[in-house]
Structures are given as structure tokens and as C-alpha cells.
Amino acid sequence: MAVSGTGRLDGDVLTRESAGAPPSRDGGAARAGLLLGVLYGLAGSGASAAAVALPALGVDLDVAGTTTAWVLSGYVLTLAVTTAVHGRLADVVGVRAPVVAGVVIMAVGSAVSALASSFPLLLAGRVVQGVGAAAIPVLATALLSARYEGAARAGALGRLAGVAGAFGALGPFLGGALALAGTWRLTMALPVLGLLFLPLLWRLAPRTGSGGTFDGLGAVLVASTAAGLVLLVQSPSAGPVVAVVGAVLLLLGVPLVLRHVRRRPDGFLPRPVATSRVLITSAVAAAAVPLTWFGTLVAVPAVLAQRGWSPLAIGALLVPSAVVGLLAARVVGRVLTRLGAPRTLATAAALSAVSSLVAALGVVVPNHVVAAVLLGAGVCVVAVAFAFGQPAMIAAAGNAVAPEQRGAALGVATLVFLVGGGTGSAVMGGLQGLLGLGGCLLLIAAPSVVAALVVLRLPRS
């Protein structure tokens, strides 16, 4: 394997000097993927586990139920908006500084939220937490993409996605168990455990980037445009004011971002990233997977609650999906190596569609036992889709651009991925009164079918 003058192996994998760690091995890649998946899951618990705590914190802080929803919305908004900023910053200064700072900021925000004596302070803590947590999805995958190659990289990304998906499935159960053990504050404090991973990140993360200056104006334009998109996605459940603000930010932001890319093709959003057909198509197609994942995780507990299930029992039903996701993560590396990113992504999208259809059938079946089996099976299938879909998207995005632009590419792809998840929960929250939960599940199956067909037209990578 040739070593280039930039200190990279084959222009892709960092050497011992730049990465601050020994050369990659399959075993090391597997362990790194598992541990980073746990860290990813802790960041994700800010949404999945915290959702269970909303009724209790509303009572404790004397806040209406519609207002407590901003505990999730504020977190998801900042998480999505700042993802691309972390990715591009890592291109410039290396992964180590932004990912370590992100974990610390996430922990500080979680601690503030857990100790908050008022709702405004809690909401401020959640916003800070989201800013920090945004570093983890994009930079954990960037770290693995930079440090490993080939089958080792595919396996590590698969394990990361599998463990992260398992945390997502276990989030309601974990949040409910913590609430029973103490108060909602324990659930809010859960991401503080991310501090335990700082030694691992310091050892694994590349400490040098491409150099150059950080395009602050470009970052502001992209972040505000992303905020408009996320607000527009959340507007079905958040109301018309949010829809108007989102639409204005999006309509003003898109032309300004395009103009900035033309003027600064090497700026915050590099032109090769903004114009990559493979990157954009893969990211949009992959978004169908979290759309189904989040939509299902909203619909299934709601259906079971209507049938008299307790929060803890609902969480227990989701435990098998976590196991299935972890098992799928053990084989996704081989699947990705054999099929390539587009076909693996198409498989994930097809599984997402099947998941929605199975869960929709569980909504309408009158027998409670059969319904529970179908709903649980639907979550299990989408857990496999998530374990396959995210690594395939990361592989496609990382291969679509030069190594020095990989952070920006992964930031954009992760942003689109998160918007997909927000769309799934927004559809369930905003349209279930019109379509019912079963109708909403059928609706979110359609993008997965389209994604599976479209992504097959991409070249094998």
C-alpha cells in the first residue's frame, strides 16, 4: 500500500503519525465501532429516552404538554442544524478537537437539563446538549472512515449503526426504567456518561486536518437554511408559525447558499460536495430509513398505549428489536463488501417499506396478541434496515468525494439522514388525526419504495 506525501495511505487511511494510533486491524475496527456505537446511542437517547420523561417533567415544572414537546424539538433542531458545521470543522482542524469538544458540550447541556429548576433553563440546557451531540453522528462515522478501510471499515460502520439502533429501540424502556428508579432528571442526565469515552476518542481520532480557514459565513448560511428545513418538517405537529418561519428561512437560504458555493467553491460547502450526484442521491434515499424508524417508534408505543400497555411493557416489547439490530450489525460488513453501497442501501430501503406495512397491519388487527406480534416484528425489521442503511450511506458519501472533503460530505449526508427521522415523527404527530396511525405507516412506506428503486441506478461502489 502506497504512502502519499500528505501522510495518508492510498489517499484515504491516516497513518500512525496523523491519526495518533497504530495501523488499523479488523479486531480494533470492530471494538471501535461497538464503542462509538454506544456513544452514538447516548447522543440519541437525548430524543428516544427523553420522550418518556415529558409527562413527568411537565407536572414537576408546571408546563403544559404542548409546551414540553419543545424539549425534544429544540434538541432535534440544534442537533440537525449543527451537524454539518462539525463535519466541515473536522476537515479543517481534524476530528479530535471537535468530537472531544462535542462530547463535553453534550455532557454540560445534559447536566444543566437534569438540574434545571425552571422550564426555560431546561430548554437552554437541551439546546446546548444538541449542539454538542451533533458532533457525534457525523464525526464518529468520519473517524471510522478515516482510520479504517475495506472490510474493516464496513464492519466497524455496521457495528456502530447496529449499536446505535439498539439504543434507539431501548430508549423508551431505558427512559421508563430510569423514571421508575428516581425522577425524570436521571433520564436527562444519561448522556453525561459520554465523558467516559473521551480517552478512546483522544486516542483514535485524527488530530490534523487539511488546514486553511473556516468559512464562517458559509456555516451560518448552511445552518440557517438547515434550520428552515427542520422547522418546516416539524411544522405539522408544531403549528403554522413554525411552518412560516421554516419556509422563510428555507426560501431565503437556498439561493444564498448556492450563490456562496459559486463564489467560494472551496468554502464551508465545497462545490464537489454540493454537486455530487452519488452523495445527494444516497443521502436522500437513505433518509427513508430513519423516516420509517422514527415513525415506527412513535406509532408502535401509541398503538400499544391505546390498548392499555404500560410504558415499561411497551419498552420491553422493543427489546427484541435491539437484539436483532445488534445481530444484523455483525453481518453488515460482509453484505456491504459483497453488494456494494447502492445495493445494500436499496435492501435497507426495501426492508423499511416491509416494516411499515407489517406495523400498519398490526394497527388494524383486533386481536391484541397478534397485533403485538406484528408491531414488534415491524420494529425488528426496521432495526435491520437501520443497521444496513446507515453504513451504506456513509460508505457511498465517503467514496463520493476527496478525503479532505469527507467531513463536509458526511455532515451533509447526516443532516439529510436526521431530517428523514424528523419527518417520520412529524408525520405521525401531525397527520394521525387525519389518516390514523395505520394510514400514516402506509404513507411513510412510499418513500422507501421509491428510494429502493432510485438508488439501484447508482454505480456500484
* Nearest-angstrom CA–CA distance, 274 and 91: 15
Q: Which residue has the cell 463520493?
A: 400
Report residues of the chain scoring pLDDT below 50. 1-25
CA 70 to each of CA 76, 124, 186, 416: distance values in angstroms, whole numbers, following the listed order: 9, 11, 19, 21
Q: Is the pTM of this model over 0.85?
A: no
Gap between the Cα atoms of 461 and 458, Å rounded:
9
Which residues, 6+ apart, have CB-to-CB distance to 348 below 8 Å?
286, 289, 384, 385, 386, 388, 389, 392
pLDDT at residue 27, rounded to an integer: 52
Residues 184, 140: Cα–Cα separation, whole Å: 28
Question: What pLDDT does residue 52 have?
Answer: 67
CATH number for the region 24-455 comes to 1.20.1250.20
**Among 139, 132, 140, residue whose Cα is nearest residue 75:** 132
pLDDT of 90 reads 82
Output the nine-digit C-alpha cell for 437.
396511525
Average pLDDT of the chain to the nearest whole number: 81
CA proximity to 395, closest of 449, 439, 342: 342
* Per-residue pLDDT at 209: 64
Alpha helices in 118-239 (DSSP H): 119-133, 135-147, 150-181, 184-189, 198-204, 216-238
Amino acid identity at 92: V
Cα 385–193–157 angle (5° rounding)?
30
Confidence at residue 401, expressed as pLDDT on a 0 to 100 scale? 83
pLDDT, tens digit, 9 for 90 and up, residues 34-77: 888 888 888 877 776 776 677 777 778 888 755 776 787 778 77
pLDDT (0 to 100) of residue 101: 93
Determine the pLDDT at residue 16: 36
432 in Cβ contact with 440 (< 8 Å):
yes
Q: Do residues 438 and 363 make contact, with C-beta atoms less than 8 angstroms apart?
A: yes
Helix, strand or coil, per DSSP, at residue 105: helix
What are the cell numbers at 159? 457495528
Residue boundaries of the structural domains of the chain: 24-455
Q: What's the rounded Cα separation, in Å, for the pair 228 and 222?
A: 10
Burial label, 193 (beta-carbon count in 10 A; 0-12, 13-18, 19+): middle
22: left (phi over 0), alpha (psi -120 to 50) or beta: beta
Give the tens place of pLDDT for each residue, 322-334.
Answer: 888 888 877 888 8
**Angstrom distance (rounded) from CA 335 to CA 158:** 10
C-alpha to C-alpha distance for 365 and 330, rounded to whole angstroms: 33
Grid coordinates belonging to 459 = 454505480
Q: Which sign does the torsion angle of CA 343, 344, 345, 349 carry? A: positive
What is the per-residue pLDDT for 22? 41
